[in-house]
A and B are shown apart, each in its own frame.
Chain A
């Protein structure tokens, strides 16, 4: 039978780029880049196609994780440069792009969080930020806001709350729903903020 699987973050209020049958739209920069191809990953790919390796295991091969980590390190350097040039919104966009959402590896997710956190904390003009942030970034930003809230760190939470208010106004409750409900594209491995999530669910429900 036919099978259809989602591949990346849905963008708010716009058709999904990159889905099967996509009408020739450019792939979103938020799409996770495919695993780097070499002999070992070719072998893993063969196992994946034959059904002898799960897609989660395929994404988390050592080769792929090393590639992800080095990509995050590259991002980090680019972000420092952008921040020195007083371009915090560009820095945040760079941080959010190519986030390792599908991998189950804690190091990758934490590494990316550190980079996103750095850019997020550098933003002073939040309204201004939203004027130049495309809607396709909304869902992933919301997920990182909850990761930030779960840290309990006062300055981080203050910043996340400020951004959260504006983001909810722009993106709507649906954006919050998607960050709560999506167990496939995650910014945590083990959900350390389960308390924050439960609090939010209570708030939304009331």
Chain B
């Protein structure tokens, strides 16, 4: 407590009662909720280094994990056990994030090798093949997000840019009306590049229809972009407090951002499509800015040799977030969906404090569709 944050690296919720997460180790733990408590069901131990990304496909019930050991495993449940299949990503740096595509026939892996690996299953040889998108990113790929059309992939990078690529693969993706009638993009072609953030970008997500794209900039900014593939129109929202690390679209017009404030932020769009910050979700928390401002001034004053009149304490106490569910940075937000609901009413968050918190929006706010 207080020394090294032993946080949860990543978690995925499934069926509302089973959860998979990495407790900052080389393993993935699966817990199930039985009546009144959580019990550990399985431990997926195959990686040599910390697991940096997990995704659980809802229909095909496969778990994909990626790790700093530059490998990826696809886990299939056979009876009581989870059996791993190695996927060779051809990386020379750590894998950082992974997501199944909407049809669950592909998954995308972002890496520190400034590349994105798109993996698909080849039936004849019974293995997963990876095709790499190289030389398009200038730095590590921090997050990946699939457009509902199963072909367009958005990525964010520590070079500050958000990019959209085509991941069309012959034999896997059938060319249909959703692929775009006029333009035939090839695999790995960059459809759009958004250079809105002067610093690192994280947490890219598409809205349920794919019409809006959102991502977070490390300078306490959130960007909402409409019609990325056509004529992009961006809204840059400056946040009052600390930066975000991940975003979730709850509906077409409402999104939740999570990050260093340790408290989820609600964003909503009005009828004209203009996004704005609504409020923090967790009401128990004291907002950080006002209390930190005077502490900062005191500390700065000491640094610059200024004596402050009226200060009572000699030492500056590090300000801790008071109350609230999370005590440290929230790094991950995952939807919990019942069946095929289009609106997300519940979601879970995990963070560097080692906690997983489940949030229920149903009785607290009206979600605009």
Q: List residues of chain A with CB under 8 Å of any chain B CB.
A: 1-6, 10-16, 19-23, 139, 149, 152, 154, 157-158, 161, 164-165, 168-169, 171-175, 177-178, 180-185, 199-200, 203-204, 206
Contacts and interface: CB of A to CB of B under 8 A. Distances in A.
Given A181-B219, A199-B303, A1 B289 contact: no
B44 interface: no
A114 B240 CA distance: 29
A58 B297 CA distance: 40
Contact of B293 (A12, A22, A165): A165
A183 B233 contact: no
Given A2-B228, A172-B240, A21 B297 contact: no
Chain B interface main SS type: mixed
B236 A164 contact: no
B233 to A, nearest CB: 2
B243 A157 contact: no
Given A181-B219, A203-B296, A4 B290 contact: no
A21 B294 contact: no
A115 B232 CA distance: 37
Given A164-B297, A169-B290, A174 B191 contact: no
Contacts of A16: 234-236
23 contacts: A1-B189, A2-B229, A2-B230, A15-B235, A15-B236, A19-B234, A19-B236, A21-B226, A23-B272, A23-B274, A149-B300, A152-B304, A164-B297, A168-B293, A168-B296, A169-B290, A172-B239, A172-B241, A174-B238, A175-B240, A178-B219, A181-B199, A181-B220
Contact of A184 (B191, B198, B237): B198
Nearest to B277: A13
A195 to B, nearest CB: 10
B50 interface: no
A4 B306 contact: no
- Using C-beta atoms within 8 Å of the partner chain, give the interface range for chain B: 35 or more
A165 B300 CA distance: 10
Contact of B234 (A11, A20, A200, A203): A20
B193 to A, nearest CB: 5
A20 to B, nearest CB: 6
A185 B241 CA distance: 20
B218 A181 contact: yes
Nearest to A15: B235
Given A1-B191, A1-B192, A182 B219 contact: yes
A178 B221 contact: yes
Given A1-B190, A6-B196, A157-B304, A168 B238 contact: no
B208 interface: no
A2 B192 contact: yes
A1 B164 CA distance: 9
B242 interface: yes
B238 A2 contact: no
Given A173-B289, A177-B242, A203 B233 contact: no
A21 B242 CA distance: 27
B358 interface: no
Nearest to B229: A2
Highest count of chain B CB atoms <10 Å: which of A4, A20, A149, A182: A4
Given A13-B238, A173-B288, A206-B318, 17 more contacts: A4-B195, A4-B196, A5-B195, A10-B236, A13-B237, A13-B240, A15-B274, A21-B232, A22-B233, A149-B300, A165-B294, A174-B242, A174-B243, A175-B238, A178-B221, A203-B299, A203-B300
Contacts of A173: 220, 240-242, 288-289, 292
Given A2-B191, A4-B225, A183-B199, A174 B239 contact: yes
B238 A178 contact: yes
B231 interface: yes
Nearest to B230: A2
B301 interface: yes
B194 interface: yes
Instruction: List 4 tightest A-B contacts by C-beta distance, closest first.
Output: A21-B233, A174-B220, A172-B240, A181-B219
